[in-house]
Amino acid sequence: MLVWGVALGSHVPEWKALQSELKQVGKACSARLVAVISTGNVLWCASRTDFDVVDPLADAFYLAVIAPQRQRLKRGERIDIVRRDADDICFARTYAGIYVLVVWISRFVDENSPDELRSVDENAVRAEMQRALPRIEALTISLPPPDPEPAEGVGKARA
């Protein structure tokens, strides 16, 4: 997965504001990670910056959910799903045609002990995503390209 390039990071006010909004969504949903991924496999921003956790989750989600639907997404179809895997419940929703907001919530009360499953209010998570989406969309669109000369994906779509 292509992660934000040199042009993006905490020194870019829009990126910092986007990360702050993603953190707020994460806090409201008790999520372990919230991220913006593009249909071109670019991780634009995440609520966390520990790439050893963020990148594998984002990449696995891209390969399992976004990549198989990439052609349909290019034609304007949308993703609005809840996906359960062994460790997480993932909520995902497309916006602005090429971006996906993804919220990962651990299925377990204690991530180190898989004995007790967490109760997740899907309607509350969806409502929080809906509340935050206009600001997340505005901030995402205001970000500079991650690479001066993007070859594909978001950068090409934005050019």
Q: What is the SS3 assignment for 159? A: coil
What is the pLDDT, as a whole number, of residue 147?
58
Beta bridge partners of 37: 43, 100
Residue numbers of the chain with a pLDDT score lower than 70:
1-7, 108-118, 146-159
What is the pLDDT, as a whole number, of residue 46?
94
Residue 89: HSE in the Cβ half-sphere, 13 Å Cα cutoff: 17
What are the distances in angstroms from CA 61 to CA 12, 38, 57, 142, 156? 26, 11, 6, 24, 22
DSSP letter string, 40-86: TSEEEEES---HHHHHHHHHHHIIIIIGGGHHHHHTT---EEEEE-S
- Distance, CA of 99 to CA of 36 (rounded, Å): 7
CB 132 within 8 A of CB 24: yes
Domains (range + CATH), the chain = 2-158 (3.30.450.30)
In this structure, what DSSP letter does residue 107 have? S
Q: What is the SS3 assignment for 112? A: coil
What is the pLDDT, as a whole number, of residue 118?
67
Residue type (1 letter), 11? H
φ, ψ at 147 (rounded to 5°): -140, 140
